[in-house]
Amino acid sequence: MKELLKYLGLFLILAGVVVLGFYAFASMISNLFLIIAALLLVGGLALYILFNRIFD
């Protein structure tokens, strides 16, 4: 379980990249997907750093 939690931040970063890719190819006008992607990227980076400090 600790190994999965250690990489949770990385999974969130990848989810943010997927949302950004969807936004780029869907040519939407709304900024909702940009906000979601930014939250996933920043939150994923913070969790990745935090969990790697805790579990290492």
Res 36: pLDDT: 95
Query: pLDDT tens for residues 1-56?
Result: 777 888 899 999 999 999 999 998 988 788 999 999 999 999 999 999 999 898 87
**Model pTM score:** 0.86
Instruction: Provide the number of structural domains found in the chain.
Output: 1
* Containing structural domain, residue 19: 2-55
CB 6 within 8 A of CB 43: no
pLDDT for the residue numbered 34: 93
Question: Are 16 and 44 contacting, i.e. CB atoms less than 8 angstroms apart?
Answer: yes
